Amino acid sequence: MDGSRATRGEPEPGTVSFYDVPVAAARRMIDDVGTHVVESTEFDLYGEGSSLQEALADFAGHLNDYLAYVVELAETGGATDNELRVGVRLATRLARVHESRQRELEERGVIGTIFEKAVRSRRQRGQHIPITWHPAQPPTTSQLLPV
């Protein structure tokens, strides 16, 4: 399906990736007023914006906010088992992103980490970290995203 035609009734399945490393199985759509929406099919996360790129940047911001929230709950002993499972799953995937990016930077002889960029404001983050949409193709996205 062409993502520009994806609607709430017929969303396009795919994967949200950071630096081309899969982070979340998701679906994308354009709502009735033209807002681009990306919703995780695994987690209670979403992003929206006037373009797909803005929706992906918003998704990344919500992911970061959710992880910060889970860490705060975990530190105070208030996190549920499900929140801890989701937090660990997301953190594991982000660690893969970090490892992949570090390898790439080392191969290029560049020093730095993606997390230096990730601490910037949500608006700026979307401009610096390549967050991409990959339409689903066999095998299914659930098979591509372990942990």
Is position 142 within any domain?
A: no
Q: What confidence score (pLDDT) does residue 141 get?
A: 47
The verdict on residue 48 lying in a domain is: yes
Q: Which two tokens stand for residue 43?
A: 């987690």
Examine residue 8 and state whether it is found in any structural domain, yes or no: yes
Residue 75: inside a domain: yes
Q: Is residue 89 part of a domain?
A: yes
Cβ pair 24, 40 in contact under 8 A = yes
Residue 40 belongs to some domain of the structure: yes
Domains in the chain, number: 1
Alpha helices in 28-80 (DSSP H): 52-76
Residue 73's domain comprises: 3-136
Would you state the pLDDT for residue 104?
A: 85
**Tens digit of each residue's pLDDT, the chain (147 residues):** 545 678 888 999 999 999 999 999 999 999 999 999 999 999 999 999 999 999 999 999 999 999 999 999 999 999 999 999 999 999 999 999 999 988 888 787 765 555 455 544 444 544 556 777 888 876 554 545 555
Classify residue 144: in a domain, yes or no: no
Q: Tell whether 143 is covered by a domain.
A: no
